[in-house]
Structure 1
């Protein structure tokens, strides 16, 4: 009788968490091609999708597969050969999941880039090796820094068109570092690559031997995920109050759960909490997820909290740990990107939506408008579409905010036009 076959234990692969990153740069710097190359070389493209872009490439007479078609998903974009809106793509490797945002390169789509950048933890700033640092390079870097993306990666693309010159790479790096120093951009890395040929994207290739740093995918694999780099206070905006109406189950008669997403920090049974704006204090009795008491919840989990005391709580209130409570404020200074074609009007009242809370607000003052092309601060009486400015707002009721640099979830808000419910502005609290 033969001995039983020995079964090897499965190898445990470390999960590096989700990384949201943004690609941006000047028109025709190769953003879409870079993402296509990344998806292609990581085997993240389905066979039918690959066949479709092969057929489209043949129709357009490009010869080789045009990898930019993987992100230029709109027919209008394909016809014009440019990326108009933000294109999102999702892929994963063995150790990490990714969400990629391909932001438009044109100045008139500044608002699109700000939207895409608001949740990113890394920005890839593409630079054409033939052209070097351009006005749009500086503009996109300024915007990425302004919206709080903690890590910038300057990818000097199209190295194949400058004979993979180390001197060209060094000059562009020096030019960018000079600009970054003036803007206070500290965390920035550089990589030479060819998105068209794949050098230094996933594979190192054989033509950039003078570069000893990591490939693009190696940088992405090791970039810290959101909410992991420093301790964050617990913030739980209440979305919904759960009161089950089930007469057949008497256990649910007194059930009162507060549902929402943990925007930052963590919470567990027994923690002392404060409810804002009432200031009432209590402790956490249970943490439910899908009807199961999990005992503890962490950032970005959607859970139901049960409290030890009966407190009047409604949508828009916030549950925080007692020692970490923010100060409610009715006046805020913020950096605002104006999204609407209708200019911002001092005489009008807008709605601020901050987490799950909505309050009325008026524009008190415009401190200055930022010229994102020159990085100059300019006086302004009103804000037009794509303008970015530092403003002061007066609120009818308090909000429970943190500075955007401390907490991107509770430091951000949107402005809504009451007359049509359109989103007209996005803001970051200073």
Structure 2
């Protein structure tokens, strides 16, 4: 439905009406925007997406003053056109209904049944547009005993088992469940929703038939358990937390160096021998308690403290240089300054600069999808609140100056 773009994009023919906020939904719609879709982000007048105020830090304008755009909001809203509409008012609902008729996809993350009272749910909209792809993202899905509960990433990480697997062993200092450092369930829900939408669009293109997509954070978290979920279903044994260690390989964990931390993943006896020889402790390779991986696993509580003392004698850089030269799998634990200074990250173009209407320019993390024929595009910085309201209403709904002025005066847009 979108007008042709200056260069070829995978989704340049698709328009998305984005009624989501916070992270899971916006992450999905940003993916679609990066791939060329025309994404129209609908927000509440005055306040907008909750994440606009989730700071500090905030984006600074050209004079160095904080704007109203939190860094959290900026991470998930590039490539979109932003409009403000009050869905609680009938005229606002009619605007959304008309925009949906001009769109291929609607994405929303309202509570179950909340949009039905506005006749903006899938069943209502598909009566007018049978080929519409409609994706609803909730915490627990459209059915089941928890369907009407609000879902938050942190809670879902706990309920869905991830935190039972993440964190140091209970018998060690600092042991206990830990959440992931980023909202990984929200992000993966956004990714699964992206895939589902693309599948539904392919089905629509073949059959002319739209469909409803029911995405739930809890479902995604359970699916993300991957091999750990399979391990439990196969064995009946509940996996436990191992922190940064491995249940079946020693040494396969992080270690503190003299100045930072490294990861050593010695997957066989030869790599283990090289590791301790580089560390100046060759006798640890010949000790009968440690000569094979099964024995090292059996005696990990004796061996690991000895390895920790050994690793602390050198710096992160010294260890990485020596281990890489010897072919021992290893890596640094980088902070974010080190991540964005890493030559491989730079070579892969994982930081981008975009022009911004108030900041002048804006640094963002790039999309990792690298397509040879239809590359991702970076044509629109995360929009300021209501930046494109008039443009979209004029272009898509043919509203004139008088109509727009009336809607503004009534607080509908």
TM superposition score normalised by structure 1 = 0.27
Compare the two structures and name the one with the higher helix fraction.
2
**Normalised by the size of structure 2, how large is the TM-score?**
0.28
More strand, by proportion: 1
Higher relative contact order, structure no. (Cα contacts within 8 Å, ≥ 6 residues apart): 2
